[in-house]
Amino acid sequence: MTIETVGIVGAGQMGNGIAHVCALAGYDVLLNDIAQESLDKAIATIEKNMSRQASKGKISEAEMTTAMGRIKTTLTLTDLGQTDLVIEAATEREEVKNQIFKTLVPHLKPTTILASNTSSISITRLASRTDRPERFMGVHFMNPVPVMQLVELIRGIATDEETYKTLLGVVERLNKTPASAEDFPAFIVNRILIPMINEAVYTLYEGVGNVRSIDMAMRLGANHPMGPLELADFIGLDTCLAIMHVLHDGLADTKYRPCPLLVKYVEAGWLGRKTGRGFYDYRGETPVPTR
């Protein structure tokens, strides 16, 4: 199969990053969201990020202009039906994703491949609610998409070999590195990463260390580029909690129990950088630990 046009559902942090790399790789991109404000913000973000790449000599001004010209936007989800590949990058809630696919399916070309950027939800289950489980895959990009090299490719139980090979080709055309993962809760990266973050929150909850000391310990003691609590704020505490719930529900092991303090922060609406407060307060000039 040849993929030339890519539809992307969701113009947030992940969606606009996926649109960015697809356009640079030569794909015609149709970006969808439910709010015009989100689409406008996404285009501005993509332009800013490409300008940064151009200023560093990673792409030329001509490449940037051509790539920006390949990106179109729409508020109408069903417009994506005529693309060769649809990548869903909406919020990490299964009922939202199911509704998106339900709306899209009657308008798809017979050959269109469906993909989800989910970070933890069962690909087999999402695929089973569509008319083409054999043409459905998980394509999990890392954040920030233009910078991060890895893409997890997750086959559902029904995904056929042609679909897998086609999406392998897409990832390679994006100059990303694919890692094949089996369809088990949270796949590879988040199966390892998010419980580590949850354990860091337990370390804070139990008073073993404060926010600053925990992050410093992991940066300097384990050579992590970012401390786990700082990273949680970057990912979004609601996303971290959602993935812990998927792990806990899907594997029925108490080691995946979400830390009560993580639950409390999410209940407070302190979700990290995107809301201005999480384990750090971002409302001043420099982030200040909240604990």
List active site positions: 119, 140, 152, 190
8 A C-beta contact, residue 181 and residue 154: yes
> Tokens standing for 287?
């982030």
Q: How far is CA 141 from the centre of its chain?
A: 5
Cα–Cα distance, 213 to 54 (Å, whole number): 37
Contacts of 177 (CB under 8 A, 6+ apart): 149, 150, 151, 171
Closest CA to 242 of 64, 91, 49: 91
- Give the neighbor-by-neighbor strand order of the sheet with 85-88: 71-74, 28-32, 5-9, 85-88, 113-116, 136-141, 150-155, 177-181
Element (H, E) at 18: helix 13-24
Quickly list DSSP for 239-291: HHHHHHHHHHHHH--GGGPPPHHHHHHHHHT--BGGGTBSSEE-SSSS-EE--
> Tokens standing for 229?
């609590």
Pairing state between β 136-141 and 150-155: antiparallel
Collapsed DSSP state (helix, strand, coil) of residue 34: coil
